[in-house]
Each structure stands twice: as C-alpha cells, then as structure tokens.
Amino acid sequence: MKVTVVKNHLGEGQFPTFPKGTDVEITDKECTHFLNWYPCKIKGHATYVPDVIVVGGKLVRDYNPTELICKAGEILEVKEIFYAWFMAEKPDGCVGWIPAELCVSSNEPM
C-alpha cells in the first residue's frame, strides 16, 4: 500500500535492530494517544513497543523502533501496520515507523 505523508515527521533518533528474544522492560502504562503501545527500555534504550511483539518480557520478533524522518508530500510504501503506526519504506530504501495519522492513501502506482 502506498501512502502520502501530509505532515512533516521528525522521529526520535536512530536505534539498532533488537533480535528476537531480547529482554524488554515496560517502564510505564500504555500510551494514551497510541493505544497498545508502551514506553519501554530495550538494552538501555528508552523507546516504545507495540504490545503484540512482547510476550513474557521478551521480543517475539526482530524489532527496530527507529521512526522515519519524512516531509509532507513524500510517498511511502507501507510494509506493516501496528495499531496506529505504519512500518514504511521510502523510495531510497530507508525503513522506519510513522504515525498513520500523518499519512493518506496515495494514488501513486505500486
């Protein structure tokens, strides 16, 4: 699915990819704006994680919390959807997270 970014997104920095089985410490209650996402620490990195990829305090798949830095008008290819966030790829190959509310469906060809 292709989407167009409608509002700039700055992200919160770069993160490594954490392998399946990595310990996750949930540090607070569920986010109020993004349901089913939790603040956490992974190998000392403060970030957020969707609840479905943490079971018993461990990642059930490889996970990289890096958000895409995007400008309004950019076209992205959505790879996965986790609640209100897209895991998307830019034409240059950069992959990361962006809130779905910052995007609209695109008419660009697949």
Is the per-residue pLDDT at 108 higher than 70? no
d(CA 5, CA 53): 26
Question: What residue spans in the chain does CATH classification 2.30.30.40 cover?
Answer: 2-12+66-105
For residues 13 and 65, the answer to whether their CB atoms sit within 8 Å is no
Whole-model pTM: value is 0.90
Q: How many CB atoms lie within 10 A of CB 61?
A: 11
d(CA 88, CA 76): 6
The hierarchical CATH code for the domain 2-12+66-105 is 2.30.30.40
- pLDDT tens column, 67-83: 999 999 999 999 999 99
- pLDDT tens column, 79-95: 999 999 999 999 999 99
Which residue, 108, 106, 56, 59, is CA-closest to 86?
106
